[in-house]
Amino acid sequence: LVRAAQHGDRDAIETLLRQHYDNIYRLCRRIAGNDADAADASQEALLSIVRGLPRFDGRSNVGTWIYRVTTNACLDELRRRKRRPVTGLPVAETTAETSPTADAIVPDRIAIDEAMTHLPPEFRVAVVLRDLCDLDYAEIAEVLQLPPGTVRSRIARGRAALARQLGGNRSPSHGRPRGEP
């Protein structure tokens, strides 16, 4: 599939993009912190993937390469966002008329987005690649082109900062618990 896509086969490119689009968007959503920037970043990521495919040398897994391209697109989007005014929705407007389920979920989502926004991007990316994309430390090191020890440190410090941020704002029982290793 990848080889065909590299040779410009439209069907192969489309299949590849469809396979990875949801993960790309979710990664962008967590790093960018809002839907609008996530949409922009994921669109840029798709364009970068399509344009960069002929140069993909196959030394890494294509999924890892896509995460690397996506991460760079997200970081570029964050840099662009710094140069333009932020137009976020006020919390009260978002939660004014919502169902009971939404009442429970929306504040937590906002709290997570808020906490993520306060996390410096280099820590945010490492944490999101681990917790959302489920990459191991070696894969994250490959995506970010960093030593594994740096990845380990950034994840630890990033999670600790998020724990401090979320400590007073969010019910710790909300997250879907997963089995410990």
Residue of 59, 83, 84, 176 interacting with another protein (CB under 8 A): 176
- Does residue number 105 form part of the binding site for another protein (CB under 8 A)? yes
* Nearer Cβ to another protein (67/123): 123
Q: Which of 80, 86, 91, 109 binds another protein (CB under 8 A)?
A: 109
Ordered DSSP codes for the chain: -HHHHHTT-HHHHHHHHHHHHHHHHHHHHHHH-SHHHHHHHHHHHHHHHHHHGGG--SSS-HHHHHHHHHHHHHHHHHHHHHTS---PPPHHHHHSS--HHHHHHHHHHHHHHHHHHHS-HHHHHHHHHHHTT---HHHHHHHHT--HHHHHHHHHHHHHHHHHHHHTTS-TT-S------
Region from 60-68, 83-91, 94-102, 160-168 binding another protein, contact rule CB under 8 A: 160-168
- When asked if residue 88 is in the footprint of another protein (CB under 8 A), the reply is no
Site string for another protein, 47-86 (x = CB under 8 A): x-xxx--x--------------------x---x-------
